Each structure stands twice: as C-alpha cells, then as structure tokens.
Chain A
C-alpha cells in the first residue's frame, strides 16, 4: 500500500506513529505497548515505512532488533514555531530592559 492517506487512516497506525514521534522504539516494545502480536506490528510498521512516515534501522548492538523512527515533516514546523517563540521572548526580555530604564 503506497497511499499515505490510507496509511494514516487506521487509528492503530496513527497511535503507533504518534508514539514513535515521541520516542523511537523497536518492534518488540511496540507490540508490548499496544498489546499486539509482533507480525501485526510489523505489518503496520511496513505500511508506515512504505509511505516514508517511519524509518527502520537495524539495532547496532543487536541485529535482530529493528528500531523504528518517526520521520515527519511536521517536526520542521514545530522547530519553526519554537524559533518564533524564542524570538518573541528575546524581544520581550529586551523590552523588560527598556521598561526598567523608564521607571524609578
């Protein structure tokens, strides 16, 4: 399946993706967390990775483990948002300095 919409339409896959966005995890951990069989998780992960929403890497210390990482454009939006917020605070704290100069 190479349809991003379908990949995300499934609530379980959405949950997995959101969980991976917070912390990368391996297939075993995901199956425990979601109380699902390993093959079922692998199937979901495959669909997510076919659609480039998840990247799979073999664990360096244990090559039977596959680590899953969410890769989302949304993250760049978050960074941009935080950058703007930082500029907001920079200017407010400079404003505090100016304010201090104007009062007794």
Chain B
C-alpha cells in the first residue's frame, strides 16, 4: 500500500508567482477549492466542495509550515482522511519552478476502512439477514 502520494510538476513561472497562487486565499479558492485560508502558521481553515454520499464536502485544515517561496504545508482532515498532511515544496529552476507535492499520513485510513468494512460491508448485512433471523427463529 502506498504510504503517501508524491507528485512533481514544473511550471514556466518564477517561484514568487507560484507561492502567491499557493498562499493567496482567492487564488487557492480558484484553482483548488473554495476556502478561508490565511498565510499564518496555526491558522485553521476549511475547504468546501460539493458533498457526495459518505463525504460532507468539508475538509478541515490547519497551516503547519510556511516558509516564503519554499514550503507550505497544512493538515488535511475530511471524509475518510484523518490526520493527513499536504505539502508543497518549491524549487527555482532557471526561469521555471519545480513543485514537489506530497499528501501523506494514510496509516489511519487502513483502520478506518477495515472498521467500516467490519461495521457495514457484509458484516451488518450478515447480522440483519442471517444472524438476526436465526436468533429470532430459535425463539
């Protein structure tokens, strides 16, 4: 199982421009998702998107690291994801900028899925369709 998601992109723009797009609330709301981000370590904010079954559309975050033109990271909690961390690291390359993206902390996800599996998929059905009638018919 993958412990994290790692992606690298190169943009044809100087690092300052990427940094602004990462740390400006309006910009972030536009290219990522609507949010109330503030560039301040410890600031708690939310991303809001359309809900779908099993996800209320809200991701709770907190700014963890803010190193101008270098690194931004924040926590990411929403839906099945608890205590995960998203980070953006910028490196200038001539006139371009390399972005190293990482989303990590999926250890808890395994547990959630297993617990969910135990509680819902199959298990609950089995309680309702087999165990319960069996129990009732024993009466």
- A-to-B contact residues, CB < 8 Å: 4-5, 8, 14, 17-18, 21-22, 72-75, 77-79, 81-82, 85-86, 89-90, 92-100, 103
Question: Which residue of A is nearest B4, CB measured?
Answer: A82
* Complex: A92 Cα to B38 Cα, angstroms: 20
Interface residue ranges of B69-85 to A (CB < 8 Å): 80-81
- B-to-A contact residues, CB < 8 Å: 1-2, 5, 7, 9, 11, 13, 17-18, 21, 27, 30-32, 80-81, 99, 101, 103, 106-107, 109-111, 113-118, 123, 126-127, 130-131
10 pairs of residues in contact across A and B, judged by CB atoms under 8 Å: A18-B114, A21-B114, A75-B1, A78-B110, A81-B80, A81-B109, A81-B113, A85-B81, A85-B103, A103-B27
Tell whether, in the assembled complex, residue A92 and residue B31 are in contact, meaning their CB atoms are under 8 Å apart. yes
- Minimum CB–CB distance from A50 to chain B (whole Å) comes to 17
* Complex: A103 Cα to B20 Cα, angstroms: 11
> DSSP class of A's interface residues: helix, strand, loop or mixed?
helix
Q: Most chain-A Cβ atoms within 10 A of its Cβ — which of B13, B99, B101, B113?
A: B113
* Complex: A4 Cα to B125 Cα, angstroms: 13
Partner of A82, one of B5, B9, B17, B21: B5
Tell whether, in the assembled complex, residue A85 and residue B110 are in contact, meaning their CB atoms are under 8 Å apart. no
